[in-house]
A and B are shown apart, each in its own frame.
Chain A
Amino acid sequence: MKIQLFWFIAAALLILPAEKGLADDSVKVSGSLEVGAQVADGVEESAKSQEYEDLDDAPIGNFSLDYDTESYFLGIEGTRVGLDDQQYQIEGRSYGKFKYSLFYDEIPHNLSFDAQTFYSSVGSDTLTIEGSSPANQASWRTFDYHVDRQKFGGTFDLSFDSPFFFHVGVERVEKDGLKPLGTGSFSGVVELPEPVDYATNNFTLAGGYRTDEMSIKLSGLYSSFSNDNTFLDWQNPFLGITEHNSLPPDNDYMELGVNMIWRQLPALSTLSVAGSYSNLTSDFSQDQEGSLLPSGLNSTVFEGDISTMSLSAALASRPTDDLDTRLFYKYFDRNNDSTVIEYDGGGNDTHLLEYTRHTLGFDADYKLAGHTRLGGGYEYENVDRRNRPDGDSNSDNLLYVELKNTSLDYLTARLKYSYLNRDTDADHDLAGVSAFASEYIVQFVQRYDVASKQKHEIQVAVELYPLDNLDFGVSYTYADNNYDDVVLGRTDDTGHEFYLDFMWRAARMLDLSGFAGYENYQADSNHYNYSPGQIADPRVADRSPSSFRWTQDISEDFWIVGLNAGMSIIPDRLRLNLSCQYQKSDGKSDFTSEGSSALLPITQYDDYDITTVSAKVDYTLTERLGLGVGYIYEKSTYEDQQYLEYDYAPGGTYLSGAYADHDYEVHVGYVTIKYSF
């Protein structure tokens, strides 16, 4: 048993006798104990089949206990006991005085099974080639890529029926396992098993004072992250030297915040103000890296220091019964005081991103006649960045208008349109740069996260309630981003999303619910295959066969349908739950090219089908005893040009099989017996 779990149970046992209410006549105790077993077939085929679950053959168990008195409540719950996805929760409260919680949660993350490598000491921070040969795949070792996460901790809230309140929380998150790390150079590419040995400790503290008219809250968070491995050393099979890859660094993060709320102000208003300051630090020196350092390096020590400041204010009012308004302002500033690293070679210094964001907006909703509500709003945002020349600053103007109608008892209809205009200024310093130099091309690259654009979005939704026991909803969303000024980069992306769902409760015999969805996404982009020495201006129709313009058009379709049914076969005795789901994804990438050879379209572009069927029968043996029998079937097929005919050692590359085990067909059966009291 893991040591964390031991402490969790020990803490739970300490809590129970502390409550005098145990001897109280009004005690209500209820709960359940469920034990059984699960068997599975096919789960070893692909890690994807049990990405976040433990589906191996194993005994299974769940339990719950609720202890309730007039003054005290204690709830204990455990699910999937003993498995890699087990979870425990204890919640307790003394009404009007305090409440607490303890939790322990394991999340497996299975990434890939049966990966292969020629490296020894997999799992350590030093990978050497011993006892196997890169050239002889039969000598490679097999391992699994997976990361196990354990989260445990507790919270305590104190109020004692006073306007003052106090909160404290502690939490530790541990992650260990292996994940793939791609690395290499022009001499060759290697996929390495990167060790994951992380621990994060979080400590939160908050307190405040509340009345009808106002409240104030002060809060603090301290979080420290540690990684047992600062660098991964590996023997380069192409160069025969030991190389060093940096891994996530240890860091310390602290955040201080204050919230203030004033209520019952003029016009039935509430004014909310919040501010916070955070600081993130880390440091390490060349001694930890152990590799040769570049000539002219200005500092052998890196001290990371990033701070942020935020301020938010919102004034929500209802000046009349028919009008709701909101005025808001948000400020966010990121300041990076980390060491700037420079060395010989020009252009190699770090570019530490800093930015300041102001957001100011106003929106209002007005109730019109006929149960119609008209809403609208405007938001202005300005972002000013340092060390990001392609998006030195941008100004966003967002407008929206919305109509909602509820004039019919059985129907709610909603229509919303929004328009965003973004103007971006670049600030490239290209003085003296030749039009034949690679650097010249940067002025034509406009990245879609900051580029100037116009966005139109339309949302339509209808909710229908034709019967008391039948709900039906349908919605459609259209979104189009048009990056008109872009020379190189994404020029347009358009999405259509159509969804519907329903829920039908046919008396006590049958519950039926389902959903369906269709999505279409299209993205177009412009690119330039530039060869050094040619004119680095993609606006000019090129004359060289080695430099040419090309475009890419991506189109993706996605369908999904799901159905759930709960049936009472024998009332209060036998119940059947059925669910099935099918989803399909079909993508395509087309090209046009001004180059000498045609580009072939990619028709297998994250194409997949997933079919899931599950059934569960619950049979009530006695008032306290129940039997559950269940079955789950899932089949997944995946086709993508990047993984077809996967090869571990194509020319100049050694792969390990990361994310290559896509397809699976899984059968899982389980039986449990549950005692309730």
Chain B
Amino acid sequence: MRTFLMLVSFSLCLLAVWLTLPVRTITAAQTDEQLGFIGAETCQECHETQYASYARSIHSKKLVKGPQSQDACETCHGAGAMHVEKGGGRDVDIFAFDADVDSLAKSEKCLICHQKSTPSMDWWDASTHNREEVSCDSCHDLHTPAGSQKPREPEVCFGCHREIEIAANKYSHHPIIEGKVNCSSCHLPHGSVSTAMIKADSIQHLCFTCHADKRGPYIYEHPPVEENCLTCHSSHGSRHAKLLTEKVPNVCQDCHDWSRHPGTPYDNKTGFSGSSPSNRFFARSCLNCHGAIHGSNSFENHALTR
């Protein structure tokens, strides 16, 4: 607790220093640029394909408080006069959403509107994606037709999270590749203060959203169920049944040692075909008896067998 209090004090000091800093905002330089605006018709003359896709997109809707209701193409790409004057060309005095353009600068273009119009963007500034320089156009196609603004899941996410793609293909997995569970079913890609940007205050609250039968409350609890499901399960996929981090009985015996069977070694001899078959090992091992592994409401049972 002493360490914690010291850290709180340190944080408060940081906060005090921060309060003395000057105010900086991201919208300061907007008005001067208005001088060089040329209008969407001029852009269309050279960028016919891009204009056509823009015209089909939600961004072109007059009733949306977006580019169309402001300065069309130049709302996001900046004033085009100098670009035209210099004969055009990629990145020539124009803001392009290219791969080598600073990700924060690209996101700032979007945030001018979406920071106040999109509730899910509330946590963007503190989000891992923002800090890892993932810009909006990394996932969203800005000229996509109305109705398909959301990125294709899980393909877009797998583009960066290759370890998740591999986990989701393993022998035991959540139905992610089958299209029944999306990444955004559990995660908030625009940010949250939770670990891994999950949609809940804690891991078990998130899991209980779908697995409401595991909520309890139970007379006899199994502590990992009440604190962290990931103690025993992998969230995306595993080579072991039921997305377990290790197979039974080993995942159980790593925690349970006692007299009789919890501390008994189960080796090759204890399978169906072994010289000493044991129902503590073969088939579903510990779960052959301890079926109420997530909790039990039997009045006389603390071994989670009833």
Contacts and interface: CB of A to CB of B under 8 A. Distances in A.
B297 A249 contact: yes
Interface in B112-129: 115-117, 119, 122-123, 125-126
A263 B125 contact: yes
A225 B213 CA distance: 7
A530 B258 contact: yes
Contacts of B65: 96, 161
Question: For this complex, into which size category does the number of interface residues on chain A fall?
Answer: 35 or more
A578 B47 CA distance: 34
Contact of B1 (A53, A165, A210, A382): A382
Nearest to A377: B131
Nearest to A50: B178
A128 interface: no
Contacts of A651: 277
Interface string B89-111: 00000000001100000000000
A554 B250 contact: yes
Contact of A348 (B22, B210, B302): B302
A352 B264 CA distance: 28
Contact of A449 (B240, B250, B255): B255
Contacts of B20: 266
A334 B264 CA distance: 34
Contacts of B306: 183, 243-246
B188 to A, nearest CB: 12
A563 interface: no
Contacts of A282: 216-217
Nearest to B217: A304
A319 B21 contact: yes
Question: For this complex, into which size category does the number of interface residues on chain B fall?
Answer: 35 or more
A183 B272 contact: no
Contacts, number: 415
A272 to B, nearest CB: 6
Contact of A182 (B212, B254, B289): B289
B279 A653 contact: yes
A332 B146 contact: no
Interface string A293-334: 110010000101110101011111111000010111110101
Contacts of A294: 299-300
A272 B305 contact: no
B300 A560 contact: no
Interface in A372-407: 373, 375, 380, 382, 388, 395, 404
Given A268-B24, A442-B258, A641-B274, 17 more contacts: A95-B61, A95-B63, A182-B288, A184-B288, A210-B117, A293-B299, A302-B299, A315-B18, A318-B24, A360-B11, A362-B11, A444-B257, A515-B165, A525-B253, A529-B265, A562-B169, A653-B279
Interface of B: 1, 3-4, 7-8, 11, 14-15, 18-27, 58, 61-65, 99-100, 115-117, 119, 122-123, 125-126, 130-131, 133, 145-147, 162-163, 165-166, 169-171, 175, 178-180, 193-194, 201-202, 205, 208, 210, 212-221, 223-224, 226-228, 231, 239-241, 246-247, 250, 253-259, 263-265, 267-269, 271-274, 277, 279, 281-285, 287-292, 294, 296-302, 305-306
10 contacts: A71-B63, A180-B284, A198-B213, A245-B292, A360-B4, A445-B255, A515-B166, A646-B272, A653-B288, A655-B283
